[in-house]
Amino acid sequence: MKGEVHSHLEKNIRPYIDLIDTLRSIGIHKDLALPTIAVIGDQSSGKSSVLEALSGIALPRGSAQNELAGIGPGICDELITLEVMSPDVCDLTLIDLPGIARVPVKGQPDDIGEQIKCLIMKYIEKQETMNLVVVPCNTDIATTEALRMAQGVDPDGIRTVGILTKPDLIDRGTETKILEVVQNKIIPLRKGYIMVKCRGQQQINDKISLEKATEIERDFFEKHNFFRGLLNEDKATIKSLAIKLTQELVEHIKKSLPQLNEHIKKQLWDLRNELKKCEDGPPQDPKGAKQFLTEALTRFIDQIKSVSSGELIVKDNVFVQLRVEYKKWNTHLFYKLIEERIECSQHYRGRELLGFSNFRIFEDVLQKQVATLRKPAIDLLNIIKDIILNQFTDVVNQCFQNYPALLDITMDKIHNIQSVQQEKLEQRISEQFDMENMIFTQDPIYLKSLNETTKETFSEDELPIFDKKSKYFDMLQAYYEIVVQRMSDQLPMMMTLFMLKQTAQLLSTDMLSLLDGANVSELLFESSDVGRKRRDLQARLDRMSIGHIHCCGFAEAVIRLALSALVGVAAVAVLVYDIRSRRLQQKRQQTSPSSSD
């Protein structure tokens, strides 16, 4: 059984046919959309018949089809691939696409028509796809949905071919109208139309062979009063279609090549980068593994150090984030002062008679005031801890993403060190507040602050005149300014020291201790994903590299037919064809110098 495409291809690209296996093993199509042909049309428009005639292979219909696509009214998302290999036909890959229905039948979702259109769209919108639109002659071509869809994705019609089927079933009197369509006068397509006559249902039932059907088709056109002329214009018969298709394929591939080449180059670049990220796995021998671990730990420690020293001049480095929080703390301290001044003026008076002063009032107000800062201070500490934890976690992920055991151990270490440091720091902060409770500053410092607050220039001797309640607000403010200055610097400094510097230092030391007696292979145990990912990337890289070589030369096409299954109405068929390069051809010629080409 030989189809027209088959015999045509035999003649034209026979030199390449035996390279199909090479191409398939390259598997480029897994990474890139290759030039493809999609056959679209309404239910029973004749898609399967056209494909059968082209390929010379009787396609599964009905219950064969159900086996492939599964029984059920819905559509399945996965492609079902069936590879047909036979010495009699060119290699075919039949892709059984989920079927679709325009009017839902029982059990089908209401939007099945939409689902199908989406699926078809997925194929026909790709620039790499050439669209064959199958339209029966006995329908109104202008209202054909498939044609409308193809025009939607290819308004200039550069990758759309029209196929008119069932010319034997037209109503008498419509012949001229149909001729005008084939002659591209009604709905013009750049690539035009071809009319074909396939086996009717009765002929299928009568088991008329595809070969015989070709003869019948030829006969039909030769004897047809109106369509006879189409034969000379190469606008009729499956054979003309096959020739046109082959030409178009090669043209299409040639046109797609530069873009395909670009894609391949880009993917090569991306893959190499990704592979770099996966880096080489650790060596198997113990000595090499230990060396590998030492290097990995050193890299990690270096990074932690540069984070903690603020050397990483990048956006959002840890000091940028800390400074934001420290500034908020400073603002908070000042804000508290203003609030307290008002309260003090209204409510504070002890047991003293009017006019007497009392240092206790002063102390009291300040002690209460300072006490309100304890909680915000601890809140600040928690925020700072999280910022630093995030930064360290980033470094850990960056350095150890491929080694889950090492990653976990390191994260544990960070958590442990942080919680010990936090506990120590909370103790120190608490002591700081206890000290602030004492209300103390050196006389010259206080005097300076008081003068600044009141904008006067008192000497130490003059100060007793100040011991009046009415002046307490100024005195309070002068002292609180000093508290603010102390706390505003002191706490951030402690936090940076304890939570960042010391933590980084302790972590570094702790990490190095991993080298002593640790089970190196356990630490360097790779997550199964990584090994797999690396292998996968490498395979893709190899494929791409070969593909790149192929693409650099002239490409030829070998057709793979793909066709859709029908659960409902319309169907998509895809002819996937592969490309091969002049280089491969040359290579082949070199290896078999006897072949004449």
Task: Note whether 138 binds ligand GDP by CB under 6 A.
Answer: no
Give the tokens for residue 506: 């302790």
369 touching Mg ion, by CB under 5 A: no
List Cβ<8 Å contacts ≥24 apart for 176-185: 176/226, 178/137, 178/226, 179/226, 179/227, 179/230, 181/141, 182/230, 182/235, 182/236, 183/235
Query: Does the protein bind ligand GDP through residue 139 (CB under 6 A)?
Result: no
Contact 340, 365 (CB under 8 A): yes
Q: Given candidates 4, 40, 45, 543, which one binds ligand GDP under the rule CB under 6 A?
A: 45
Would strands 160-165 and 571-581 be described as parallel, antiparallel, or unpaired? unpaired
As measured in angstroms, the least distance from the Cβ of 182 to ligand GDP is 14
Cβ proximity to Mg ion, 61 vs 277, nearer residue: 61
| Closest to ligand GDP by CB, 238 or 475 | 238
Integer CA distances (angstroms), 204 to 137, 199, 208, 411, in order? 20, 6, 6, 71
65 contributes a contact to Mg ion by CB under 5 A? no
CB of 240 or CB of 256, closer to ligand GDP: 240
Selected from 6, 8, 37, 41, the binder of ligand GDP by CB under 6 A is 41
Run of H or E residues at 555? strand 555-560
Select the span of 47-55, 279-287, 497-505, 583-591 touching ligand GDP (CB under 6 A). 47-55
Query: What CA dihedral angle connects 314, 317, 323 and 326, to 10 degrees?
Result: 170
Our finding on whether 49 is near Mg ion (CB under 5 A) is no
Applying CB under 6 A, which part among 45-53, 88-96, 113-121, 182-190 lies near ligand GDP? 45-53
Q: Is 413 an interacting residue with respect to ligand GDP (CB under 6 A)?
A: no
Pick the stretch among 9-17, 47-55, 373-381, 440-448 that binds Mg ion (CB under 5 A).
Answer: 47-55
List the single partner that 457 binds among ligand GDP, Mg ion, none, CB under 5 to 8 Å by kind.
none
| Those residues with Cβ within 8 angstroms of residue 104's Cβ, 6 or more apart along the chain or in another chain | 110, 112, 113, 568
Neighbours of 437 (CB within 10 A): 13
158's contact among Mg ion, ligand GDP, none, with CB below 5 to 8 A by partner kind, is none
Q: Is 60 in the site for ligand GDP (CB under 6 A)?
A: no
| Least Å from the CB of residue 122 to ligand GDP | 19
Binding test (CB under 6 A) with ligand GDP, winner from 191, 197, 235, 252: 197
For residue 568, the 8-state DSSP code is: S
Q: Which of 264, 259, 271, 254 is nearest to 581 (CA)?
A: 254
Q: Find, among 206, 191, 202, 136, the residue nearest to 169 by Cα.
A: 136
**Minimal distance in Å, beta carbon 76 to ligand GDP?**
18
521 makes contact, choosing from ligand GDP, Mg ion, none, with CB < 5 to 8 Å by partner type, with none
Of 18-26, 96-104, 139-147, 160-168, the window that binds ligand GDP (rule: CB under 6 A) is: 160-168
* Options 22-30, 177-185, 199-207, 351-359: segment touching ligand GDP (CB under 6 A): 199-207
Residue 41 site contact among Mg ion, ligand GDP, none (CB < 5 to 8 Å, cut-off depends on kind)? ligand GDP
Do residues 242 and 8 lie in contact, with contact meaning Cβ atoms separated by under 8 Å?
yes
Q: How many CA atoms lie within 13 A of 552 on its CB side?
A: 9
Q: Per rule CB under 6 A, is residue 165 in the interface with ligand GDP?
A: yes
Q: Is 585 in the site for ligand GDP (CB under 6 A)?
A: no
Q: Does 131 bind ligand GDP (CB under 6 A)?
A: no
Residue 132: strand pairing partners? 39, 161
Kindly state the number of chain residues that form the binding site for Mg ion, as judged by CB under 5 A: 2
- Name the binder of 293 from Mg ion, ligand GDP, none, CB < 5-8 A by kind: none
* Residue 535 φ/ψ region, left for φ over 0, alpha for ψ in the -120 to 50 degree band, beta for the rest: alpha
- For position 162 contacting ligand GDP by CB under 6 A, the verdict is no
Rounded CA gap, 408 and 138, in Å? Answer: 70
Is 46 one of the binding residues for ligand GDP (CB under 6 A)?
yes
Neighbours of 286 (CB within 10 A): 10
User: How far apart are CB 235 and ligand GDP at their closest, in Å?
Assistant: 15
Is 168 or 211 the residue whose CB approaches ligand GDP more closely? 168
Q: Which of 239, 223, 166 lies closest to 3 in space, CA to CA?
A: 239
Of the candidate spans 74-82, 194-202, 268-276, 383-391, the one that interacts with ligand GDP by CB under 6 A turns out to be 194-202
Toward ligand GDP, which CB reaches closer, 402 or 564? Answer: 564
Stretch binding Mg ion (CB under 5 A), from 41-49, 112-120, 233-241, 457-465: 41-49
Say whether residue 49 binds ligand GDP (CB under 6 A).
yes
Closest to 337 (Cα-Cα) out of 445, 479, 468, 440: 479
Residues 1, 50 contacting (CB under 8 angstroms): no
* Residue closer to ligand GDP (CB basis): 163 or 557: 163
Report, in Å, the least distance between residue 204 CB and ligand GDP. Answer: 5
DSSP string across 383-443: HHHHHHHHHHHHHHHHHHTT-HHHHHHHHHHHHHHHHHHHHHHHHHHHHHHHHHTT----H
Q: Using the rule CB under 6 A, is 294 a contact of ligand GDP? A: no
In the structure encoding, which two tokens stand for residue 338, read together? Answer: 């203003």
CB of 570 to ligand GDP, least distance (A): 8
Identify whether the C-beta of residue 366 lies closer than 8 Å to the C-beta of residue 480.
yes
State the DSSP H helix or E strand holding residue 573, giving kind and residue range, or none if neither. Answer: strand 571-581
Member of 36, 48, 55, 237 binding Mg ion (CB under 5 A): 48
47 is a contact residue toward ligand GDP (CB under 6 A): yes
52 vs 481, beta carbon nearer ligand GDP: 52
- Taking each continuous run of H as one helix and of E as one strand, the counts in the chain are 22, 8
Shortest Å, Cβ 46 to ligand GDP? 4
Q: What is the end-to-end Cα distance of the chain in Å, rounded?
A: 27
Plot region of 518 (φ>0 → left; ψ -120 to 50 → alpha; else → beta): beta
Q: Which is nearer to Mg ion, 47 or 235 (CB)?
A: 47
Question: CB 171: neighbour CB atoms within 10 A?
Answer: 10
Residue ranges binding ligand GDP (CB under 6 A): 41, 43-49, 165-166, 168-169, 197-201, 204, 571
Residue ranges binding Mg ion (CB under 5 A): 47-48
